[in-house]
A and B are shown apart, each in its own frame.
Chain A
C-alpha cells in the first residue's frame, strides 16, 4: 500500500512503519502523491484529524531536502492540527540525518507565531532544539511561543520534556535551560506585553512573570543588571500598544532597583520623562530621589523641568514644582536656576498650576537675585491674565494683555444651485452619484429635475443614457423615478407606487414628517412621468439652503402657463414653502400677470407673506399627557407649536407644518433614519419650525448617546427665519452631546448664529442650564463645547451664554463639572472685561473651602467686581 493510501486511511502508525522500510529514493518518489493528497484534503470539507496527522508524518519522512521539509511541517495546512504532538512524528524525524534536523529546526524557529494562543508547534520545536544541540533560537516567534508555552500550567507530554507542571512558573523557568537565553529577549519582542501580565493561572503577583523574573534575577539564573538595563531601555523606547509600558513598569517594580543601580541610568531616566505619564511619573520620582541624595548632576534638574513642565498632566507638573521648591530650600545657591526652571510652567494650560509656579518663583526670587528678572519677565507673557497683576508686583513690569476683539467666523453665504442638467449623459452621471451615496441636497434636486425634464424632451435618449446606471441600482427612491422616466415602468405599477399606499417604495414605518413630504414629491413625479410628463419641476431650489428666488419661481410658473400645463400640486406646494418672501413690486406684478390657478396661488402666497411663523412654547419635562393623549417626555425639554392653521397645502405638507402635537403622536419605530440635509430644505425659511419638529433627535444625542444627529445643526443655523426657543434648545442639546463630532457641529451652529446676529445668548444659557439641572446634559460636555467655542475667539458670545446659565446652575447644590463652567466663565469675563456681580456666584464664593467650584467662583466674583 502506498503512503498516500495509508494517509487516506488515517493510519499514522502504518505510515511510520512503512517509512522505515523505504530507501531515500523511494521516499522522494512518494512526495508528488503526498502533495496531491494535501491539496485534495485542503479543498475537502470533511477530512478527519487522523488523516492530517498521517499526512504530516508522511511528509516529514519523505522530504529529504530539509528546507522543503521545514516548509511542509510548518505549512498553514497543518496549523491547529493535533498531529504535531504525535510521538510518531518525533520518531520519524529522529530517523532523519542530523544536518537535516538542524536546518529544519532553524527554519521552523523563524516561522511566525500564531496570532494568539499557544502554539501546537512549540513542543516539537523544543524537542528538536534539545535533541540536535542547536543553539537556542532567539527569533521573535520562538521567544513568543516560549513565553506562551511556559505560562501553561498543564502537564507536558513525556516525549517533549520534563518541566514541572502547575502554577509554579518560577520552578518551571528555573529548571528550563532556555531561560537565560530567552528571558532577556522578552523586552525586545513586540506584542509580548499582554502575555507577561499572566500567566492566567497565577494566584498572586509572585506567580506572574514580573515577580518570577525578579526572583530568577535574585537567585542568579538571570543577570540582574542586564535585566534592569533592558527593562529601562524598553521603557525609554516605548512603542507597542498604548498600555504596554504597564507590565514593564511592574517588572521594574518587582526588580526594585536600588539607588546605586539607578544612579548610572540618569540619562535614560531623563529620556523616560518624555514617555507615557506612568513611565514619566516613575522616572520623575527616581530622579528626584537621586537629586536629593546628590547623586546626579545638579544641572539635570533644569533639563528634567524642560520636559516635565511642558507636559499637560497636572500631577506631574505639581510634583515637579514641589521638587524645585525642595531643591531651592535645601541648597539656596540653586535658587537662580530653580526660579528660571519654574517659569517653564507659566505657559501651562491650567491657571491654578501657573499660580503654583508663580508661588515657587516668588518664594525664591530674593535669593535668586535680580539677574533672573529679564528672563522671568519674558516668561510672564505666557501667564493667564489672572496672574498679570501678581507678575507685575514680582517682576516689576506691567504685563500687557492684548486688546480684546470678538472673533466670529464669516457669515456663510448660500451657494447658488448650478443650471439644470443639460444632457441625458450628464444626468446619468449625476444620478449615478446620488444613487451611489451622495447625500447632498443639490445633486438630488438636480437629478430629480433632470429626470422630469429629459423624460419629456427625449425619452428614448434618456432610457439609453440611464441604462448603465439602472443596471446596478433599482428598487427605491430616485431609482424608481428614473425607471418611470426611462419608460421602464408599467402604468399599473406607476399608479400603485404613486398612490403612496404601499409602504416600502418611498414611505416606510420609520418615515418622519419630513420623509413623508419628500416621498409625496417622488410619488407625484412618478405619476406625472407615467401619465403626463411636465417640462420641469417648480420646487428645484435656486440656493443651496433650499430657497427659491421668487422671480425665478414666477418665471417657472409663467412657463407652465405658456405651455398650458398645470403643475403637480405637491410640487407647487413645496415650491411655495421654499420661495423666498419678497415685496419687490416688479416680482409681485409679474406674478399677478399669470392668469392660471397656480399663478393666482403664487400671487396670493407672496402677498400674504408665505407660511406664517408659529409661536414656540417650551414644554418642561412632565409626566402629563399631550392634548392628543400621548405621554409627554419626563426628562426632555421640548417645544410646542400650535400649527400653521389653514394653509391650503397638500396633505403631507400640511401635516408637517401642523401642530407639533401631531409629531408627538408618531409611533415608536425601531430605527431612526439619519437626519438629512433635505429635511432642513423643506422649510428653508422656517428653521424654528424645523427645529421644533426634530428636537427629539437632538435630545437623543445628549441623553441617549445617539451619534450624528446634530449634523444638521449648522444647516439650521444657516437657514432662514427667526431663531427661537426650538433652535436654541437644539443647540443646547448639541453642546451637551455624547459624541465629539456632534458637539463640534453644535459649536459650528452656535458661532454661525452669533455671526449672523441671530443668537440669543441668554436664552441659550438658560435652556442649557435647565437641561443640566435634571441631568439631560452633562456639565463636563457642555464645558468642553463652550471651551472650544471660546478658544477660537468668541469669548464674548460664550460669556453671554454662561452669564445666563450660572444663576440657574448655582441655584441648587453645584454639581460635578460646575467648576469647569465657572473657570470658562471667569476666563471669558476677564477677557471681555465683563462687570456686574452675579448673586449666585458671590454666594458660592463666600462659602469658602478648597473645591474647584468655590475657587473658580471666587475668581469670577473678583473679575466681575472689577
Chain B
C-alpha cells in the first residue's frame, strides 16, 4: 500500500508528440537516419517539431553506437532497476555541433554525445533544443549500421513534411519526476567544478573499461582509480591524484563504443577525500561521449545541493533573467564577454549562470571547459522552487527561527537549537546530523541556508 506522502507527491507528466517514429530508412540511395523531434525551443521561441540538421555523419558506425549508448542511459536505472525509466533523450543544436543528452531514471548518470563539426557533413546546423524519439526499430536499425558506408542523418522533419503530415502520430506520456528534472539540470552545475585528471590512449582505455565489473555486486561500490603511467590503477582509497569511480558498473554504456574509441579522458573535482562525482569522456572520431556519475549508485544528483547557495541568493534572480536574454544557443559561453554585454561583474555573471543551470538552461562541456547554452524542453522552473531543502529553509526563516549572534547563529527547530558557525575561511558549518554526515559535501543544510537567507536580508552594515 503506498503511503500518503507518495500519493501526495507532485508528479508531472511529460507529453511527447512526434510527427512519426524515428527510424533508419533504407533506399536505393543508401541508408538514412531520421530522428524525430518534439517540443523545445529555438531562437524564434517554442517549436512543435523543430528541424536542426540534415546531412551526413562522417563516422556512421561510431555515431550509431554512441547514440545507442545515450539511449541506453535514458532507459536505464542503475539503482533499484525494477522501476522503469522512459524519458527520451534531448538534442541541442549549437550552430556548429549537435549534442545528444540523456539522464538515467535513477538520477545518477548523465550521458552526452557531442557530435562536432568534424563528425558532421551537411548543411547548416540550427539552434535550439528538443526531444528525440527513440524506439525499438530505431535501436535495431542503429545496431545494423556497419562501418564505412555513409549515413544520412536528419534531426527533425523538414518544412514540407510538417505541412504534409497529418499532425503528430506518435504520442507518449511519461511521468516526469521533480527530482529527475532537478538532477538533470544540476549535474551541469556540479560538472563545472571538474578538471581533467587523466587521459588514456585507445588501447589502455579499452583495457581499463573492460576490466570494470558489468553488474553491481553487493555492498560498497565506490572505488578510486589513480593515473599510473599510461593507464589507470584501481586503488583502495583517495590518495592524492586519485579520481573517484563510484559504481563502476554504471559505465557499462561505454562498452558499446569501445571499438571506436580514440582516447578516454577522466574529469573530477580537484580534491576528493570521500565519494565524489566524476566524468568519463570517450573520444570518438569527430565526437565525444561523456558519462557523468553521481558520487554513489544509490545517491542521485538531485540531492547534491551544490546549487542551493546560488538559489538562495535572491539578487541572482534578476541577474539570471538579464543573462538569459543574452544567450542564444552558443556552443561556448564566455563569462567575460557576457559581463561586458550585461554590464555585470564577472562574479555575478557566474552566479547567474549557476542559477540558470539549475533551471536547465546551461550545460557544461568538459573538453571546452566552458558552459554552453541549451534550454531543457521541460517545465523546469517548478523543480527549483520545490527544492525540499530550500523550502525547509524558507519555512525556518518565515517562522523566525534564526537568531544572529555575531559570527554564529542559532536556529531553533522544534524543541532544540542548531548552531551555524562561520569558519575562518568564510564557510558556514552546522551542528546538525546531516551536516555532520557530509560536512558540506552535499551542499548546505537547511539551517545554513536559512542563516544565509536572513543574513542576506540584513542591511550591509550589520552583515
Whether B223 and A429, one on each chain, are in contact in the complex, defined by CB atoms closer than 8 angstroms, is: no
In the complex, A461 Cα to B6 Cα: how many Å? 43
In the complex, A268 Cα to B139 Cα: how many Å? 12
Whether B259 and A271, one on each chain, are in contact in the complex, defined by CB atoms closer than 8 angstroms, is: no
Residues in A whose Cβ lies below 8 Å from that of B430: 429
- Within B418-446, the residues touching A (CB, 8 Å) are 418-419, 421, 423, 429-433, 435-437, 439
Whether A233 and B419, one on each chain, are in contact in the complex, defined by CB atoms closer than 8 angstroms, is: no
Q: Which residue of B lies closest to A746 (CB)?
A: B236
- Tell me, yes or no, whether A707 is within 8 Å of chain B by CB: yes
Whether B259 and A471, one on each chain, are in contact in the complex, defined by CB atoms closer than 8 angstroms, is: no
Residues in A whose Cβ lies below 8 Å from that of B421: 423, 425-426, 429
Q: Which residue of A lies closest to B447 (CB)?
A: A468
The interface-forming segment of B11-19, B141-149, B332-340 is B141-149
Partner of B437, one of A242, A310, A437, A788: A437
Whether B229 and A792, one on each chain, are in contact in the complex, defined by CB atoms closer than 8 angstroms, is: yes
Residues in B whose Cβ lies below 8 Å from that of A315: none
- Within B387-405, the residues touching A (CB, 8 Å) are none
Per-residue A-contact encoding for B225-266, CB less than 8 Å = 1, 0 else = 010110101111101100000000000000010110000000
- Tell me, yes or no, whether A757 is within 8 Å of chain B by CB: no
Knowing A429-B429, A744-B236, say if A793 contacts B436 (CB, 8 Å): no
- Within B1-32, the residues touching A (CB, 8 Å) are 1-2
B409 to chain A, nearest CB (A): 10
- Tell me, yes or no, whether A435 is within 8 Å of chain B by CB: yes
Q: Which residue of B lies closest to A710 (CB)?
A: B236
- Within A680-726, the residues touching B (CB, 8 Å) are 707, 710-711, 714
Knowing A237-B136, A465-B419, say if A303 contacts B432 (CB, 8 Å): no
Q: Which residue of A lies closest to B408 (CB)?
A: A425
Knowing A76-B2, A432-B436, say if A745 contacts B418 (CB, 8 Å): no
In the complex, A433 Cα to B438 Cα: how many Å? 8
In the complex, A536 Cα to B219 Cα: how many Å? 40
Whether B228 and A432, one on each chain, are in contact in the complex, defined by CB atoms closer than 8 angstroms, is: no
Partner of B435, one of A432, A435, A465: A432
- Tell me, yes or no, whether A306 is within 8 Å of chain B by CB: yes
- Tell me, yes or no, whether B457 is within 8 Å of chain A by CB: no
- Tell me, yes or no, whether B416 is within 8 Å of chain A by CB: yes
Whether A236 and B144, one on each chain, are in contact in the complex, defined by CB atoms closer than 8 angstroms, is: yes
- Tell me, yes or no, whether B162 is within 8 Å of chain A by CB: no
| Residue of A42, A188, A307 with most partner-chain B CB within 10 A | A307
Whether B417 and A409, one on each chain, are in contact in the complex, defined by CB atoms closer than 8 angstroms, is: no
Whether B143 and A792, one on each chain, are in contact in the complex, defined by CB atoms closer than 8 angstroms, is: no
B448 to chain A, nearest CB (A): 11
- Within A297-313, the residues touching B (CB, 8 Å) are 303, 306-307, 310, 312
In the complex, A412 Cα to B235 Cα: how many Å? 13
A598 to chain B, nearest CB (A): 33
Partner of B235, one of A433, A438, A744: A744
Total of A-B residue pairs, C-beta within 8 Å: 126
Whether B416 and A188, one on each chain, are in contact in the complex, defined by CB atoms closer than 8 angstroms, is: no
- Tell me, yes or no, whether B386 is within 8 Å of chain A by CB: no
- Tell me, yes or no, whether A180 is within 8 Å of chain B by CB: no
Residues in B whose Cβ lies below 8 Å from that of A472: 433
Whether A714 and B140, one on each chain, are in contact in the complex, defined by CB atoms closer than 8 angstroms, is: no
Whether B416 and A412, one on each chain, are in contact in the complex, defined by CB atoms closer than 8 angstroms, is: no
Whether B236 and A714, one on each chain, are in contact in the complex, defined by CB atoms closer than 8 angstroms, is: yes
Whether B146 and A310, one on each chain, are in contact in the complex, defined by CB atoms closer than 8 angstroms, is: no
Whether A435 and B228, one on each chain, are in contact in the complex, defined by CB atoms closer than 8 angstroms, is: no
Whether A433 and B233, one on each chain, are in contact in the complex, defined by CB atoms closer than 8 angstroms, is: no
| Residue of B220, B233, B234, B432 with most partner-chain A CB within 10 A | B233
Whether B416 and A471, one on each chain, are in contact in the complex, defined by CB atoms closer than 8 angstroms, is: yes
Partner of B147, one of A303, A467, A468: A303
Residues in A whose Cβ lies below 8 Å from that of B431: 428-429, 432, 465, 468-469
Residues in B whose Cβ lies below 8 Å from that of A274: 143, 256
Per-residue B-contact encoding for A309-352, CB less than 8 Å = 1, 0 else = 01010000000000000000000000000000000000101000
In the complex, A791 Cα to B228 Cα: how many Å? 9
Whether A382 and B147, one on each chain, are in contact in the complex, defined by CB atoms closer than 8 angstroms, is: no
Q: Which residue of B lies closest to A304 (CB)?
A: B146
Whether B231 and A791, one on each chain, are in contact in the complex, defined by CB atoms closer than 8 angstroms, is: yes
Knowing A412-B239, A468-B416, say if A271 contacts B228 (CB, 8 Å): no
Whether B136 and A745, one on each chain, are in contact in the complex, defined by CB atoms closer than 8 angstroms, is: no
Partner of A270, one of B144, B210, B214: B144
In the complex, A613 Cα to B340 Cα: how many Å? 68
- Tell me, yes or no, whether B383 is within 8 Å of chain A by CB: no
A251 to chain B, nearest CB (A): 17
Bin chain A's interface residue count.
35 or more
Interface class of chain A by DSSP: helix
In the complex, A471 Cα to B418 Cα: how many Å? 10
A543 to chain B, nearest CB (A): 15
- Tell me, yes or no, whether B75 is within 8 Å of chain A by CB: yes
Whether A76 and B1, one on each chain, are in contact in the complex, defined by CB atoms closer than 8 angstroms, is: yes
- Within B70-118, the residues touching A (CB, 8 Å) are 75, 82, 84
Residues in B whose Cβ lies below 8 Å from that of A432: 431-433, 435-436
Whether B435 and A792, one on each chain, are in contact in the complex, defined by CB atoms closer than 8 angstroms, is: no
Residues in A whose Cβ lies below 8 Å from that of B429: 426, 429
A747 to chain B, nearest CB (A): 8
Knowing A267-B144, A303-B146, say if A429 contacts B435 (CB, 8 Å): yes
Whether B239 and A711, one on each chain, are in contact in the complex, defined by CB atoms closer than 8 angstroms, is: no
In the complex, A463 Cα to B66 Cα: how many Å? 59
In the complex, A192 Cα to B2 Cα: how many Å? 25
Q: Which residue of A lies closest to B226 (CB)?
A: A409
Knowing A236-B143, A303-B146, A426-B423, say if A788 contacts B233 (CB, 8 Å): yes
- Tell me, yes or no, whether B454 is within 8 Å of chain A by CB: no
- Within A265-307, the residues touching B (CB, 8 Å) are 267-268, 270-271, 274, 303, 306-307
Q: Which residue of B lies closest to A405 (CB)?
A: B229
Whether A312 and B231, one on each chain, are in contact in the complex, defined by CB atoms closer than 8 angstroms, is: no
Partner of A741, one of B207, B236, B423, B435: B236
Per-residue B-contact encoding for A40-84, CB less than 8 Å = 1, 0 else = 001000000000000000000000000000000000100000000
A821 to chain B, nearest CB (A): 19
In the complex, A391 Cα to B70 Cα: how many Å? 40
Per-residue A-contact encoding for B118-162, CB less than 8 Å = 1, 0 else = 000000000000000000110110011011000000000000000
Residues in B whose Cβ lies below 8 Å from that of A242: 214-215
- Tell me, yes or no, whether B203 is within 8 Å of chain A by CB: yes
Residues in A whose Cβ lies below 8 Å from that of B256: 274
Q: Which residue of B lies closest to A473 (CB)?
A: B433
B99 to chain A, nearest CB (A): 24
Whether A748 and B235, one on each chain, are in contact in the complex, defined by CB atoms closer than 8 angstroms, is: yes
Whether B419 and A792, one on each chain, are in contact in the complex, defined by CB atoms closer than 8 angstroms, is: no
Q: Which residue of B lies closest to A435 (CB)?
A: B436
Whether B419 and A425, one on each chain, are in contact in the complex, defined by CB atoms closer than 8 angstroms, is: yes
In the complex, A710 Cα to B1 Cα: how many Å? 43
In the complex, A312 Cα to B226 Cα: how many Å? 24
In the complex, A688 Cα to B460 Cα: how many Å? 60
In the complex, A831 Cα to B44 Cα: how many Å? 63
In the complex, A242 Cα to B213 Cα: how many Å? 13
B202 to chain A, nearest CB (A): 10
Partner of B136, one of A188, A437, A791: A188
A384 to chain B, nearest CB (A): 12
Whether B82 and A409, one on each chain, are in contact in the complex, defined by CB atoms closer than 8 angstroms, is: no
Whether A792 and B233, one on each chain, are in contact in the complex, defined by CB atoms closer than 8 angstroms, is: yes
B88 to chain A, nearest CB (A): 16
In the complex, A661 Cα to B413 Cα: how many Å? 55
Knowing A306-B147, A349-B207, A468-B418, say if A792 contacts B228 (CB, 8 Å): yes
- Tell me, yes or no, whether A115 is within 8 Å of chain B by CB: yes
The 10 lowest CB-CB distance pairs between A and B, nearest first, are A432-B436, A436-B436, A745-B236, A792-B228, A468-B431, A271-B143, A792-B233, A793-B229, A425-B421, A267-B144
Given contacts A432-B432, A747-B233, 15 further A-B contacts (CB under 8 A): A42-B1, A76-B2, A188-B136, A237-B140, A239-B75, A268-B140, A271-B144, A306-B259, A412-B239, A423-B421, A429-B421, A429-B431, A429-B435, A791-B233, A792-B231
What are 10 A-B pairs at a CB distance below 8 A? A188-B136, A233-B137, A236-B144, A428-B419, A429-B436, A465-B431, A468-B416, A744-B234, A747-B233, A792-B233
